[in-house]
Amino acid sequence: MKRILCFFLSLAAAAAFSAKMAFAAAPPKKDGVIFSGTTACGKKIALTFDDGPHPVKTPKILDLLEKHGVKATFFIVGENAEAYPEIVAAEGAGGHELANHSYTHTRFSKLTVAEIKEEIERTDAAIKKAAGKSPKLFRPPEGAYSKDIVSIAEGMGKQTVIWTVDTMDWAKSPRDEIVENVKANVTFGSIILFHDCTRDGTFTLEALELLLPYLKSQGYEFVTVSELIESSP
């Protein structure tokens, strides 16, 4: 009986091992969308900040990232970039990746193809004007993508990126809940969703103050999303 159990246990271990290997070797895309890196990234992870820039919150987040030597990716809303171009320039100068998150942050499912293209183009133009850089990555508002949206973005030279860890900071989660949420879900190659432009009463900055030292102590290395994709075979 013991021998049979051993046999099944070794089968299960072999299956788990091959599943892990398959994941490591699998391309990071699903439906043409990047959700995370692969286990081959090792302990590289990408922090992403959506919806900004915000005139008060974004500079505070930039200061904290700089203090810890952390590079992140900002998914920028075009009309906010036009309102605060100096903050977009500071993000670029700080070595962070600048990415496209639409112009008005409206739901793309109700837009025509021409309107979707305009949302992406106007945001690209605002980021280019502010920081002299053209985004390579795109994230639709609310992460609501479809086959059509992905292929329109692709036609404009953009990779669509979503996330695997939602910090729930947007839902006004308490600081410790955001922290626990990340601790429980972070893994090799994670793309983590934060927001730098939020309603009042959110705890993104407070959670980051605890999370950055914690993630470093666990050996995680912070890279931009493009760097994460490049290190994902």
Residue 193: exposed, middle, or buried by beta-carbon count in 10 A (0-12, 13-18, 19+)?
buried
Helix H or strand E encompassing 131:
helix 113-131
Which of 96, 101, 105, 195 is the catalytic position? 195
The partner residues of 48 in beta bridges, in order of sequence, read 73, 193
Active site residue 148: no
Active site residue 50: yes
The partner residues of 58 in beta bridges, in order of sequence, read none
Strand runs labelled E in the chain: 29-30, 33-34, 44-50, 73-76, 97-100, 137-138, 159-161, 165-166, 191-195, 221-222
Q: Is 119 a residue that touches Zn ion (CB under 5 A)?
A: no
Residue 149 and residue 160 in contact, taking contact as beta carbons nearer than 8 Å: yes
Which position among 51, 124, 196, 227 is part of the footprint of Zn ion (CB under 5 A)? 51
SS3 37: coil
Q: Residue of minimal CB distance from Zn ion?
A: 50
| Selected range binding Zn ion among 1-9, 33-41, 47-55, 221-229, rule: CB under 5 A | 47-55
User: Which residues in 14-43 contact Zn ion (CB under 5 A)?
Assistant: none
| Selected range binding Zn ion among 48-56, 79-87, 120-128, 172-180, rule: CB under 5 A | 48-56
* 50 or 119: CB nearest Zn ion: 50
* 44 or 53: CB nearest Zn ion: 53
Q: Is 50 a residue that touches Zn ion (CB under 5 A)?
A: yes
- Contact positions toward Zn ion, by CB under 5 A? 50-51
* Residues annotated catalytic, as ranges: 50, 195
